[in-house]
Structure 1
Amino acid sequence: MRDLVAGTGYLGKGQRWVARHGRWWGFGLIPALITLVLYAAALGALAFYAGDLAAWATPFADGWGSPWQGLLRGLFVALLFAGGLLLSVLTFTAVTLLVGDPFYEALVEQVEKSEGGGPPDPGLPLWRELWISLKDSVHVLVRAAGFGVLFFVLGFLPVVGQTVVPAIGFCVSGFFLTVELTSVAMQRRGIPVRERLRMLRGRKGLAVGFGTPLVLAFLVPFVAVFLMPGAVAGATLLVRDLTGDGGAAGEEDAQVADEVTAVQPSAPPSARW
């Protein structure tokens, strides 16, 4: 429970950091705005063709009478669009980080400097950084997609599929969203993606507490754009304490847990993972 509260605290701290550094908040909005336009077009196309996809995927229901055919295909459309939204939440961050790699590298470096300094710039050429980011994102997204397929199937279970399964799905999505958001700061420290997953699996509460509120907030149109710079800043602060760069992680987490009730974000907010 303490890690859950601490994770939410880092999210608030990140939003407060960009609120105090307005120029960097505006700087971090640029790649998120570009990605938003792309995703709005993709989700619009999904919504337009969802009915046709439902009919194609359920040919056995062609001869069903009313209301059963409509109920089945309506449920399919709802689950398909919900899955598309969850997938967009996960991939939005990955694509935004990829599109905005130079922007977020500069933002993370500024956060590190304001907190007492961080690791030196790895000095990799831009194409190399983009290639590493792309490979890491694919690695994470393949794992997340496996859970997405599982939750999509479980969504057909009566009652549980419409209550428990979505709740667990949001938590799992929050974990993987945290993995994505911490990628820039982790990459600066030369930590490979498998090690990042291992570190965050060891602190699942911290990762879920940070990422799940963002998953829920990102479902609201345009909120993802405005929260993205603060999310990257908060993820950087989380990484600093997780790796010991910002002081003793245990002491910092305890302090965050004690103070989180006073933190107000500046914007509205199995298998091994």
Structure 2
Amino acid sequence: MRDFLTGVRMFGQGFAILLRSPRLLLIGALPAVLTALLLLGGLIFLAYRIDDLSALVTPFADDWAEGLRAAVRVAADVALFGAALVVGMLSFTALTLAVGGPFYEHIAEKVEDELGDGAGAVDLSWSRLLWLGLRDGVLLVLRALLFTLPLVVAGFVPVVGQTVVPVLLALVTGWFLALELVAVPFYRRGMDLRRRRAVLRRRRALALGLGVPASLLCAIPLAAILVLPVAYVGGVLVAREALRDARVT
């Protein structure tokens, strides 16, 4: 429990560090703003073409009376737009991470340099960080799906689906997000995803203290604009603590 609370505290410290560097906070907000604009543009385009799309998905109503056909297609309009809105909200964090990888990695690198005492750390090129982030990001998403999809299905089981499953989902999501958030300090020490997992397993509660609150807050619409850059800075602190512990033991 102490390690978990330490992870939560380091997440909070990420916010304090970014407040002292408004430039980094602005850089961290850009990916989420870009993602929001992309999703908004998609919704506007959908609204513009939604009548054609609803006609495409309701061909059975072509020969119906005009009033009934119009009612069915208005209902299809509402359903299609609502579904697109829900999908956009659910995918916002994942898209922001994909778009903002280089931005967040730059923030983590700058923060670690400012903190000093980065034993064994080396500077990596932007292209190298981008490649490593994309490669490991895809692997983490695939691994996360292996765990989360069965839990989503289990969510339909009465009682268990409303009690145990949400807790397990929060823990699984928090763990995989934490692995993403601590990546840069490990990359700079030549440590790949396998070694990153091995180090964090020894301080799993610490990692969850960072990942769980970050993932829960990202579920709030547009909160990722602030949460993700803060979480990446917290990830630097958690990574340094876990690496220090690994060196000692």
Under a length normalisation based on structure 2, what TM-score does the superposition of the two structures give? 0.74
Deviation string 1:45-68 (CA, Å, 9 cap, x unpaired) is 8xx9xxx9xxxxxxxxxxxxxxxx
Change in Cα spacing, 1:94 to 1:24, as seen in structure 2 (3 Å) is closer
1:128, distance to aligned residue in structure 2 (A): 3.5
Question: Percent identical across equivalent pairs?
Answer: 36
Q: 1:173 is aligned with what amino acid?
A: T
Aligned to 1:55: none
Change in Cα spacing, 1:10 to 1:140, as seen in structure 2 (3 Å) is same
Greater CA deviation, 7-16 or 181-190? 181-190
Gaps of 5+ in 1: 53-76, 251-273
Q: 1:14 is aligned with what amino acid?
A: G
1:121, distance to aligned residue in structure 2 (A): 3.6
Change in Cα spacing, 1:173 to 1:229, as seen in structure 2 (3 Å) is same
Q: 2:161 is aligned with what amino acid?
A: G
Task: Provide the secondary structure at the position in 2 that maps to 1:244.
Answer: helix
User: CA–CA distance in 1 between the matches of 2:35 and 2:186?
Assistant: 22
Q: Does 1:184 align with 2:184?
A: yes
Gaps of 5+ in 2: 55-81
Task: Say which structure is richer in helix.
Answer: 2
Partners of 1:108 and 1:184 within 8 A in 2: yes
Change in Cα spacing, 1:40 to 1:176, as seen in structure 2 (3 Å) is farther
Bigger RCO (CA 8 Å, 6+ sep): 1
Deviation string 1:134-155 (CA, Å, 9 cap, x unpaired) is 1101111111011121111101
Change in Cα spacing, 1:110 to 1:129, as seen in structure 2 (3 Å) is closer
Q: 2:143 is aligned with what amino acid?
A: R
User: CA–CA distance in 1 between the matches of 2:40 and 2:170?
Assistant: 21
Under a length normalisation based on structure 1, what TM-score does the superposition of the two structures give? 0.68
Partners of 2:154 and 2:161 within 8 A in 1: yes
Change in Cα spacing, 1:139 to 1:223, as seen in structure 2 (3 Å) is same
Deviation string 1:174-221 (CA, Å, 9 cap, x unpaired) is 111111111122212211011111222222211111111111111111
RMSD of aligned residue pairs (Cα, Å): 3.2
Aligned to 2:242: 242
Deviation string 1:88-145 (CA, Å, 9 cap, x unpaired) is 54x24641443xx1x3343223212321242544444x43332221110111111101
Aligned to 2:33: 33
